[in-house]
A = this chain, B = another copy of it.
Amino acid sequence: MSKKIGILTSGGDCAGLNAVIRAAVYKADLLGWQVYGILDGTAGLLEKEPQYKILTPAEMDTNVLRMGGTILGTTNKGNPFSFPMPDGTTKDRSGEIVANFKKLGLEAVIGIGGDGSFAILRRLAQQGGIKMVGIPKTIDNDLGKTERAVGFDTAVSVATEALDRLQPTAASHDRVMILEVMGRDAGHIALSAGIAGGADIILIPELKYTIENVAKKIKAVKDGGRNFALVIVSEAVKTPNGEKFEITYHNGEKRYGGIGNYLAGKISEVTGFESRVTVLGHVQRGAPPTYNDRLLASAFGVRAVDLIAEGKFDRMVAWQNRKLVDYPIEECIAAYEAIDVNDTLVHTARGLGISLGDQ
């Protein structure tokens, strides 16, 4: 029987979103369903008329699979339950979204997002009686219940490549090179890229560090006969006494940033080594998806449509040990996963002699 389903991308963009969309469209088409692509996340439903385009397999040509970003657009302009208004107040605009959803006459909607987006989408769904299925995406990989979220693999790949490129300059100039990478509150990118990219020091928000420990490792590297060191730091890392670095954008939005620069200063001061910082920034998000992100995205997109066909809702698709599984979204949000200090990769890092700044 023919159905109309919706799909939207929510929160920060990342690599693999288009591969999810393509997979869902292909699978839905096999079932004879129509897919409505809602534009700009929930913002497309805050307009007077719902903003969308109907997605057909013919439009999902092979390049969509390979393209970073999202062809549907996305926003993080604000929580519709307390939407920031131009006059500085906030307003509950959730009713507008629910009304627009209903106008579209969709049977169910696939929401591609992270924990923040899921919390909002779920509440909207409950409020409006909308059936929803979630697909996890976040370069931070901090969603529970799934080994990987879409976008993480590409982000780590770009960060590792950056360390590979900084190493020769570090060695040529006897320098400490510091790479500041993304990671809202979880250090997964820094930890994985740091191990894979040959870092000597990895600083993550989950572990407290001291400048003394950082300096001790740099000294040990030098004493071992190497003239340079590589440091990777998650943008969410604070100073040892808990000060937070933030950049205020021109729209008032605040973001992490600046810890790399702080560290460069401290390291030069304490060790006498010349040090330089590189802030990797947005190139971690928009890069073309790795094969892993395309594969995961394709598996998730197909499976989300299956869940709708099976009448299973309010669930998130997940990947565990080579298999697709699914869990109640609520459980996934609750299972937020920063790095556990007893984590396998923490152990790996220590086994390689990498300093995590805490010892």
Contacts and interface: CB of A to CB of B under 8 A. Distances in A.
Interface of A: 9, 12-13, 15, 17, 23, 26-27, 29-30, 40, 57-58, 61-63, 65-70, 73-75, 147, 153, 156-158, 160-162, 164-174, 177, 192-193, 195-198, 224-227, 230, 249-251, 264-265, 268-269, 274-279, 281-283, 285-288, 290-292, 294-295, 298-299, 302-303, 305-306, 320-324, 343-345, 347-348, 351-353
Given A165-B68, A172-B74, A345 B299 contact: yes
B294 A292 contact: no
Contacts of A285: 165, 168-169
B224 A57 contact: yes
What 3 pairs between A and B have smallest CB-CB spacing?
A: A69-B168, A302-B351, A68-B168
Contacts of A193: 291
A23 B172 contact: no
A343 to B, nearest CB: 8
A8 to B, nearest CB: 12
B295 A195 contact: yes
Contacts of A225: 58
A165 B158 contact: yes
Contacts of A321: 147, 320-321
A314 to B, nearest CB: 21
A358 B73 CA distance: 32
A287 B165 contact: yes
Contacts of A170: 286
Given A158-B165, A269-B250, A351 B286 contact: no
A251 B268 contact: yes
Interface residue SS majority, chain A: helix
A268 B250 CA distance: 7
Q: Which of A251, A322, A353 has the most CB of B within 10 A?
A: A322
B250 A305 contact: no
Contacts of A268: 249-251
Contacts of A169: 13, 68-69, 282, 285-286
Contact of A172 (B58, B73, B264): B73
Nearest to A283: B165
Q: Which of A29, A68, A156, A157 has the most CB of B within 10 A?
A: A68
A172 B279 contact: no
Contacts of A265: 250
A23 B352 contact: yes
Q: Which of A9, A70, A168, A250 has the most CB of B within 10 A?
A: A168
Given A66-B164, A156-B291, A177-B282, A298 B348 contact: yes
A356 B249 CA distance: 25
Contacts of A23: 348, 351-352
A232 B160 CA distance: 24
B276 A282 contact: yes
Given A282-B177, A298-B352, A172 B30 contact: no
Contacts of A9: 172
A299 B348 contact: yes
Q: Which of A162, A303, A352 has the most CB of B within 10 A?
A: A352
A167 B67 CA distance: 10
Nearest to A175: B282
Contact of A298 (B196, B250, B292, B343): B196
Contacts of A158: 165
